[in-house]
Structure 1
Amino acid sequence: MRTSFLLLAGAVVLYAVVVAPMVALGEEWRPIPKVDDPLVQGLGRCAVDEQNKVTNCRLRFVKVLGGKVTGDTKYMLTVDALRIDGSHKTYEAEVLKQSSAGKNTCKLVSFSPNC
């Protein structure tokens, strides 16, 4: 019984010291080097389109102003959009880049503030 407990405790310590830090490193956010890249702008447009579908906000995408990326698929974007009254507003959108049949699409994770 004592041996089993020691083995389990050793496995937990090994995981905490070796495996967990490696996983955390993969989730480090870094600035997007070229926000004018067509891929980044397309993800921003997709985020606004998806937000319009679920909220009926009727926002019009203007451009991505900045953002961060982790890995190769998760983006946090600062997006400029036109509201229905014609005023500009800045939004934060978290999107996952998805590829299907050679075309990039997105899955909207969060969008704030609400329109």
Structure 2
Amino acid sequence: MRTSLLLLLLLAGAAVLYAVATPTAAADGEWRPIPDVADPHVQGLGKCAVNERNKVANCGLMFSKVVGSKVQTPGGTRYVLDVDALRINASHKIYQAEIVDQSSSGGSGCKLVSFGPNC
């Protein structure tokens, strides 16, 4: 009985050490930069984000290009994009759009999570 208890305590201690010593990813995953923002898929997501924003807020923005981006891992379906857009007064402004790419899950387009600053 004493040997079983000692073995059980050793196993429990090993389990605690393993849990403490093993690095874990954040619940939402890590964000990593996308090195090729000129990739047609990334540019398409940026255009989709501007179009979705225009539907909601009627901003009249015209997509120019994505100038920076990062993707959340694992999964690679959530993006934060720095989008250059042309405003009604013909000036350019950088907006930050957070989107979920629905094309990887069989959907089409993107789901806009946030877009700012306001247009």
Confirm or deny a common fold (TM above 0.5): yes
Q: Which moved more, 1:103-112 or 1:70-79?
A: 103-112
Q: Which residue of 1 aligns with 2:48?
A: 46
TM-score when scaled to structure 2?
0.74
For the pair 1:98 / 2:102, whether they are aligned, the reply is: yes
Q: How many corresponding residue pairs?
A: 100
**Post-superposition shift, 1:103?**
6.8
Gaps of 5+ in 1: 1-9
| 1:1-115 equivalent positions in 2, closer than 5 A | 17=19, 22-24=24-26, 27-71=29-73, 72-99=76-103, 104-115=108-119
Gaps of 5+ in 2: 1-11
Aligned structure 1 segments of 4 or more residues deviating by more than 4 angstroms? 100-104
| Structure-1 separation of matches of 2:117 and 2:40 | 24
Cα distance change, pair 66–54 in 1 and its aligned pair in 2 (3 A): same
Rg larger for: 2
**Post-superposition shift, 1:67?**
1.2
RMSD over equivalenced CA pairs, Å: 2.5
3-state SS, counterpart of residue 45 of structure 1: helix
**Post-superposition shift, 1:27?**
1.0
Cα distance change, pair 101–30 in 1 and its aligned pair in 2 (3 A): closer
TM-score when scaled to structure 1?
0.77
| Structure-1 separation of matches of 2:104 and 2:96 | 25
